[in-house]
């Protein structure tokens, strides 16, 4: 065995023994202080770390027996829930001790009494949950159904708890919907649906969900992006599509977007009109034309370009006509395109809901080649020819522009979402 590995094993074993001994010492201190539950826990920990320690199993048997006795005494003097909790604590210690080879002494009727206590607690908690439901206290209803699951109900009890929880979530959702709390109602409906209700309840939940989304919906039109004269028209068009279809659509169930095809059709009909972003009133009129509650538009400032040149490296090639060996140089160019854009949201009354700026960049790299003679005479790979012909630069610019579009759309959508979502209570 390698010396370092052997040393590592020795250290690990020594640490494990020391930790086991420390736990044993802790157990002795707890036992002396009369805290038998903590003592039994420490002794079990010691055995889990090192079963070869002498006397520990015996101490666990003694402390564990006394801890179980005390929990049973607590259960006999307590109401249904604390009695069940005491029995469950005792059972957990019995199971843990058994896992390290110690069978804790307990009354012959222990298991039967434990089952009776747990069942009594389950009935009590369920009755309390039903009473809370009847009183319209849905928060307590759900809290008590969650509590009841602690007592390991069987399939029938689980089904009964699920039905009561679904009813509580549904009733709470209906109350929220009546009060105009659409998001809270929607969350309650989703919680109820997650419990797997039966067909009838699921159908009712679907109807309630549809009503909630319909009443709470905010309809927004994402208008064609505008920008400075040097911003490519195709960039603005693609930015609008990515913003609406890839980032805003479906992100908030209450924000419904006007079909982008309808927006494009409307934009073609007003082609040549003044910029919409110059006037909140124009944006409000656009929203009205499209049957929307709100209009949102992105306005892109100038796109700036930055290049950073890397170190020069030398490459070899051959002249096709003579097969002579020559060299040429390549330099890696890192290209960054930066843009700032405003996202503007206006409601149907012409009030500006949001006017915020975001920034984004897009990056790409390419190689730029240099040769003392005519590079067309060289036997070059396709990528090397692209480096001489500036094809690489063109592709890098296109890639950086695509990356800028995607990142700018994501930033605009995030900012617009923070403006739109609070409009739905």
List, as one string, the DSSP characters of 41-70: HHHHHHHHH-TT-TTHHHHHHHHHHHHHHH
Residue carrying structure tokens 């549904």: 170
> Is the same domain home to 195 and 231?
no
Q: Does residue 140 lie within any of the structural domains?
A: yes
Q: For the chain, report the end-to-end CA distance as a whole number of angstroms.
A: 68
> Is the same domain home to 352 and 408?
yes
Nearest to 405 by CA among 239, 260, 243: 239
Q: What is the pTM of this model?
A: 0.77
What per-residue confidence (pLDDT) applies to 11? 34
Q: Whole-number mean pLDDT of the chain?
A: 92
> Is the same domain home to 228 and 190?
no
> Is the same domain home to 91 and 200?
no
> Is the same domain home to 26 and 58?
yes
Q: Does residue 302 lie within any of the structural domains?
A: yes
Domain limit, last residue, from 191, 216, 241: 216
372-395 confidence digits (pLDDT tens)? 999 999 999 988 898 998 888 889
CB contact at 8 A, 334 and 291: no
CB contact at 8 A, 60 and 40: yes
190-247 confidence digits (pLDDT tens)? 999 999 999 999 999 999 999 999 999 999 999 999 998 889 999 999 999 999 999 9
19-28 confidence digits (pLDDT tens)? 899 999 999 9
* Six token digits for residue 233: 């028209």
Residue carrying structure tokens 């309808």: 262
Considering just the CA atoms, what is the radius of gyration of the chain in Å? Answer: 36
CB contact at 8 A, 344 and 299: yes
> Is the same domain home to 154 and 80?
no
100-156 confidence digits (pLDDT tens)? 999 999 999 999 999 999 999 999 999 999 999 999 999 999 999 999 999 978 999
Identify the band that residue 273 occupies on the pLDDT scale cut at 50, 70 and 90. confident
Domain limit, last residue, from 107, 136, 164: 107
CB contact at 8 A, 319 and 392: no
What per-residue confidence (pLDDT) applies to 271? 82
> Is the same domain home to 36 and 86?
yes
Q: Does residue 10 lie within any of the structural domains?
A: no
Q: Check which CATH number belongs to the domain holding 151 and give it.
A: 1.25.40
Q: Does residue 2 lie within any of the structural domains?
A: no
What per-residue confidence (pLDDT) applies to 240? 95
* Domains: count for the chain: 3
Quote the CA–CA distance of 336 and 315 in Å, as a whole number: 26
What per-residue confidence (pLDDT) applies to 270? 86
| pLDDT score of 187 more than 70 | yes
> Is the same domain home to 34 and 52?
yes
Domain limit, last residue, from 201, 216, 231: 216
Structural domain for 396, as ranges: 217-425
What per-residue confidence (pLDDT) applies to 152? 77
Nearest to 53 by CA among 9, 97, 83, 23: 23
Identify the band that residue 33 occupies on the pLDDT scale cut at 50, 70 and 90. very high
What per-residue confidence (pLDDT) applies to 383? 86
Identify the band that residue 272 occupies on the pLDDT scale cut at 50, 70 and 90. confident
Q: Does residue 117 lie within any of the structural domains?
A: no
Q: Does residue 393 lie within any of the structural domains?
A: yes
Q: Does residue 3 lie within any of the structural domains?
A: no
**Burial level of 313, CB count in 10 A (0-12/13-18/19+)?**
exposed
What per-residue confidence (pLDDT) applies to 18? 53
Question: How remote is the C-alpha of 32 from its chain's centroid?
Answer: 49
> Is the same domain home to 238 and 211?
no
CB contact at 8 A, 339 and 275: no
> Is the same domain home to 70 and 51?
yes
Percent of the chain with pLDDT over 70: 96
| pLDDT score of 3 more than 50 | no
> Is the same domain home to 140 and 221?
no
Span of 3-7, 316-320, 390-394 with lowest mean pLDDT: 3-7
Q: Does residue 116 lie within any of the structural domains?
A: no
| pLDDT score of 13 more than 50 | no
Give the 3-state secondary structure of residue 346.
strand
* Six token digits for residue 303: 């796109």
> Is the same domain home to 351 and 399?
yes
How many other C-beta atoms lie within 10 A of the C-beta of residue 312? 11
Quote the CA–CA distance of 185 and 177 in Å, as a whole number: 6
Q: Check which CATH number belongs to the domain holding 244 and give it.
A: 3.40.50.10610
What per-residue confidence (pLDDT) applies to 1? 43
Q: Give me the DSSP letters along 210-272.
A: HHHHHHH-EEEEEPPPEE-TTS-HHHHHHHHHIIIIIIITTTSTTEEEPPHHHHHHHHHHTTT
């Amino acid at each position: 065995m390698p010396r370092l590995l052997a040393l590592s094993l020795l250290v690990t074993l020594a640490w494990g023994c020391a930790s086991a001994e420390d736990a044993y010492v802790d157990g002795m201190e707890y036992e002396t202080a009369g805290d038998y539950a903590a003592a039994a826990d420490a002794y079990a920990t010691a055995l889990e770390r090192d079963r070869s320690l002498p006397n520990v199993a015996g101490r666990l048997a003694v402390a564990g027996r006394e801890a179980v006795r005390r929990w049973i005494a607590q259960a006999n003097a307590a109401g249904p829930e604390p009695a069940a909790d005491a029995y469950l604590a005792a059972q957990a210690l019995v199971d843990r001790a058994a896992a390290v080879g110690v069978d804790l002494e307990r009354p012959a009727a222990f298991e039967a009494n434990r089952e009776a206590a747990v069942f009594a607690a389950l009935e009590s908690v369920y009755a309390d949950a039903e009473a809370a439901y009847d009183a319209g206290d849905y928060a307590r209803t759900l809290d008590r159904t969650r509590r009841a699951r602690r007592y390991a109900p069987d399939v029938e009890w689980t089904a009964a708890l699920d039905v009561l929880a679904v009813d509580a979530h549904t009733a709470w959702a209906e109350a929220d919907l009546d009060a105009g709390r659409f998001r809270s109602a929607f969350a309650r409906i989703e919680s109820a649906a997650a419990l797997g209700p039966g067909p009838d309840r699921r159908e009712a939940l679907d109807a309630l969900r549809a009503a909630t989304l319909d009443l709470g919906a905010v309809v927004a039109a994402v208008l064609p992006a505008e920008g400075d004269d040097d911003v490519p028209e195709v960039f603005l068009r693609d930015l609008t599509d990515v913003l609406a279809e890839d980032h805003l659509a479906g992100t908030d169930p209450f924000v419904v977007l006007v079909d982008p095809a309808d927006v494009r059709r409307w934009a073609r009909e007003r082609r040549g009109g003044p910029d919409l972003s110059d006037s909140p009133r124009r944006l409000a009129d656009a929203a009205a034309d499209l049957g929307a509650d709100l209009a949102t538009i992105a306005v892109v400032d100038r796109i700036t370009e930055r290049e950073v040149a890397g170190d020069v490296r030398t490459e070899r090639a051959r002249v096709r006509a003579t097969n002579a060996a020559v060299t040429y140089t390549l330099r890696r160019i890192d290209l960054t395109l930066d843009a700032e854009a405003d996202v503007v949201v206006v409601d149907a009354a012409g009030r500006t809901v949001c006017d915020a700026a975001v920034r984004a960049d897009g990056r790409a790299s390419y190689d730029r080649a240099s040769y003392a003679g005519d590079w067309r005479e060289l036997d070059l790979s396709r990528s090397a020819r692209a480096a001489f012909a500036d094809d690489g630069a063109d592709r890098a610019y296109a890639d950086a522009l695509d990356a800028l579009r995607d990142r700018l759309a994501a930033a605009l959508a995030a900012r617009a979402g923070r403006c739109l979502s609070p409009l739905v209570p």
